[in-house]
Amino acid sequence: MDKLQVKQRIAALSEEIRRHNYNYYVLSGPTISDYDFDMLLNELISLEKEFPEFTEPDSPTLHVGGAVTKDFVQVQHRYPMMSLGNTYSEDEILDFAERIRKLIGEGVEYVCELKFDGVAIGLTYRHGRLMQAVTRGDGIQGDDVTTNIRTIRSIPLKLHGSGYPDEFEIRGEIILPHESFEKINLQRAEDGDEPFANPRNAASGSIKMQDSAEVAKRHLDCFLYYLPGSGLPFTTHYESLAAARSWGFKVSEHAARCSTVEEIFEYLETWDRARYELPFDIDGIVIKVNDLRQQEMLGYTAKSPRWAIAYKFKAEQVATRLLSVVFQVGRTGAVTPVANLQPVQLAGTVVKRASLHNADVIASLDLRNGDTVFVEKGGEIIPKIVGVDLDARPAEAPPVVFISNCPECRTPLVRTEGEAAWYCPNESGCPPQIKGKLEHFISRKAMNIDSLGEGKIEILFDNGLVHHCADLYDLTSDQLIGLEKTYGSSDDKREKKISFREKTVTNILNGIEGSKQAGFERVLYALGIRFVGETVAKKLATHFGSVEKLKAAGFAELNEVEEIGEKIATSILAWFSEPLNLGLIDRLRASGLHFEMEASNEILLSNRFEGMTFVVSGVFENFSRDELKKTIELHGGKNVGSVSAKTTYLLAGANMGPEKRKKAEKLGVAIISEADFLGMIEA
């Protein structure tokens, strides 16, 4: 294709992908398979990479992410982002309606909407394009999180249709659907991180992540529900929602107009029951006066609008009997107490188990065997014990005692100062830890040996064929053919049999062989070093370049790496101090795994910055931070994430965090501007 054809193809692909995004994420009616969509997106990414001059400012590829934001700039809201008055009482809704009647008169119409349990966001559009996304903050000003919000596919980067104002703001709620929440917590558990307590917390943490590519992987969603400001081309709030939907925004289909308080109560009752059927969390209902002129007449208090109120649902709680407490050991050795409960119906599901998290939770509840306990669903998903019915406690009920030895290998448990969890330190001899590490090693984001899933690792372990991940590379066809195991019971018709036949064995061995192509960053992640997740592994691999340099690094050097704090550095040092782990690296290296980054094909432009380290912070006029960091590397320099006595220069842009400047001045680190930096290169 010539350049004109490329430009036309990019424009056509962009428009087609926007349409498919709208059909899938807003209308919930996809008209194309996931595979075909990915092919279109990959083609667009490839063309934009080769011809960046034709990349549109609102290209659908922005949904994929990739930009990194170290400091979120504070932005003042054009219209204050107020909170709603809350109530748990129907009587207070009656009082609310009566106050409106006295001020406005009879015949007031209301709009009832779901109250999404997420993070409030304000989106500004100019000429139909997303320009800025700002969090609530303190209501007066919030953080500019535009780069991360662009990754949410239900938020249009370019509007559909016509009739929208030349510039306007629309507000809504960033949410994390249940399915995405469960996947994130599963991955965090595999990485040895604490799971998020609920989807709202996960959504809040996600939109403030520094790497937008990581935000894109969280699969956040967004419902829009309010256009602030005057002079809008509508007479009612309900009309504005319909218009927003026609422009491409995801607006809830469950909003309803109500003419009487009885209709409002009917809506509340319906959704108090039906909320458990939704694929995301709501924590109540919002009731608004529909007429925009009446809203203006009612006005605001210092904190909230007088024309709206939020009715909050009470968390559903049930009582059931504690049958026993068992203790589970995870991949990292953390021991988690789990309560076995007398089955009980809660929030639309039968609950049989609830996590007790750690020893401190058991102690705070003063839990006794046989207690009647109160159970809620944390974030409407995770069952948790929130209290004990002391009146129903059996006489002489023995207290639940947290174990002192591992339930699997009997090793005495240890607890690190400042941490809530107890750990089994027997990493190399505790069966669930060994199997957990092996399952982590073969997982998709690590070595991606998918042919070894579905319980096959357990069969290999039970037959004494694998104990360490290096053992996988010694497996032979003769060892594997004929292995089998049956799971479940034939009585309940859920029996499952796994057999290692010739084709299965061939796939396993091919998968193991293929994993040798994985890069150093994935191998490092696969090792399962505590607190070293996928992102941290990439940063370490990029910074040090090889396992030898990483192994030789001291605490201070590790601390200089972006996002590597005291906890991660201590864990890395501890892991490399174990002779068993060093032997594991030697075996894996001998098997053909990569323990150093591949040599870059890029040629250094100069050695101007050789031996120098830079911290790049703030917003720059002519370059992104990534471009500046790349330029530093192409001239022989090194980038670090935080200022220390070893830092040569702090390259400071606009809106740089004051702490970095303060620390640089204290340590005598030279602070240079973008112009200074360019002058150094030219010199």
Contact 136/142 with Cβ under 8 angstroms? yes
Is 355 in a helix, a strand, or coil? Answer: strand
The C-alpha atoms of residue 481 and residue 478 are separated, in whole angstroms, by 6
Helices (H), 22-63: 34-50
Listed in order, strand segments (DSSP E) in 176-299 are 221-226, 256-258, 282-289
Q: Is 329 exposed, middle or buried (0-12, 13-18, 19+ CB in 10 A)?
A: buried
- The residues facing 321 across adjacent strands are 372
Tell how far CA 489 is from the center of its chain.
37
Residue 34 is encoded by which pair of tokens? 């996931």
Contact 28/280 with Cβ under 8 angstroms? no
- The residues facing 344 across adjacent strands are 351
Contact 71/656 with Cβ under 8 angstroms? yes
Q: Which of 12, 78, 13 is closest to 45 using CA atoms? A: 13
Residues ≥6 apart with Cβ < 8 Å to 491: none
The residues annotated as belonging to the active site are 115
Residues ≥6 apart with Cβ < 8 Å to 342: 320, 321, 323
3-state SS of 513-581 is HHHHHCCHHHHHHHCCCCCCCHHHHHHHHHHHCEHHHHHHCCHHHHHCCCCCCHHHHHHHHHHHCCHHH
Neighbours of 20 (CB within 10 A): 19
The C-alpha atoms of residue 659 and residue 535 are separated, in whole angstroms, by 24
DSSP 8-state code for residue 21: H
The C-alpha atoms of residue 79 and residue 169 are separated, in whole angstroms, by 9
Q: Which of 142, 151, 152, 147 is closest to 175 using CA atoms? A: 152
Is 184 in a helix, a strand, or coil? Answer: helix
Listed in order, strand segments (DSSP E) in 139-297 are 141-143, 167-175, 221-226, 256-258, 282-289
Helices (H), 354-501: 359-365, 431-442, 456-462, 477-480
CA distances (Å), 465 to each of 269, 483, 497, 666, in order? 58, 11, 19, 57
Q: Which amino acid is at 439?
A: E
Contact 568/531 with Cβ under 8 angstroms? yes
Q: Which amino acid is at 660?
A: K
